[in-house]
Structure 1
Amino acid sequence: MNGTGVSGRYRIGKAFRFEAAHFLPGLPAGHQCARMHGHSYAVEFVLAAYRLVPPGFVTDFGDLAPVKQLIDSTLDHRVLNDLLPVAPTSENVAAWLAGWFVEQVEPSLPGRLVSVRVSETQSSWAEFVLEDR
């Protein structure tokens, strides 16, 4: 219980932005995504916890600074095909970021990653949801 008389889980989200280019191999020659093109990506990380840590956080937003550092140093203004071991679809970018986060950042945090959502445009997104943990 959390003092409210109801049980549940707390969730927080933090969004990041970056600019990058990519192309998707294996598509028909006339498909627009087969050609090199760029996006203004938006990425959202969602974390959850059953209990808050003082002073009442799932995780301090400041502790997510390594995500910004990764984005700025590795993804921003790059060609994603040169960085990822898979085709750089939004789905694969979300899964890659989730794997990196769980390995590199999550061990030092009280909250647990729930999902990563990647948007290439304002009207479309793909999300990688981690299994219940």
Structure 2
Amino acid sequence: MHRIGKQFRFEAAHSLPDLPEGHQCSRVHGHSYAVEVHLVSDGELHRPGFVVDFAELAPFGAHVRDHFDHRDLNTVLDAPPTSEHLAAYFYHWCCDHLRLPEPVRIEKVRVSETASTFAEYGPVLP
């Protein structure tokens, strides 16, 4: 089995509702986000020896740049803009919009708000 990944970055602001009064994350604040898309293939590599050409992920990079970079995430997502919700949103966006050759699939998406925190979303595997 082969695994590859590519990281994308964006800057954005958000605030998180429903937190106790005075919680620092209830105030508007910003992050330098890193989003990693992880792909997996249990089949043959594509010429010249790729799981997939990283260029196939360009539509995702454009989507992140056009819809998330330098935005208020509270106005972008329909859910509170936590790392968990962002990871699920990006995972489903990739599954719905990236045209990957068989048997390549999205394994997971990881979203980091800081250098030491992250959330991941992907299918539950047996």
The one-character-per-residue Cα deviations of 1:33-89 (angstroms, maximum 9, x if unpaired) are 101100000110000001211221111101100111001100000011101111100
**Equivalent residue, structure 1, for 2:100:** 109
Choose which of 8, 12, 30 in structure 2 pairs with 1:20.
12
Farther-moved stretch of structure 1 (51-60 vs 87-96)? 51-60
Gaps of 5+ in 1: 1-8
Look up the equivalent residue of 2:26 and give its one-letter code: A
Choose which of 48, 73, 84 in structure 1 pairs with 2:40.
48
User: Is 1:75 matched up with 2:49?
Assistant: no
> 2 CA distance for matches of 1:130 and 1:122?
25
- Superposed displacement of residue 131, structure 1: 2.9
> 2 CA distance for matches of 1:64 and 1:132?
23
Cα RMSD (Å) of the superposition? 1.2
User: Is 1:87 matched up with 2:77?
Assistant: no
> 2 CA distance for matches of 1:130 and 1:13?
16
**Percent of aligned pairs with the same residue?**
52
**Equivalent residue, structure 1, for 2:54:** 61
> 1 CA distance for matches of 2:36 and 2:74?
21
Query: Runs ≥4 in structure 1, deviation > 4 angstroms?
Result: none
Q: What's the TM-score, normalizing by structure 1?
A: 0.89
How many matched pairs? 123
> 1 CA distance for matches of 2:60 and 2:97?
10
**Equivalent residue, structure 2, for 1:38:** 30
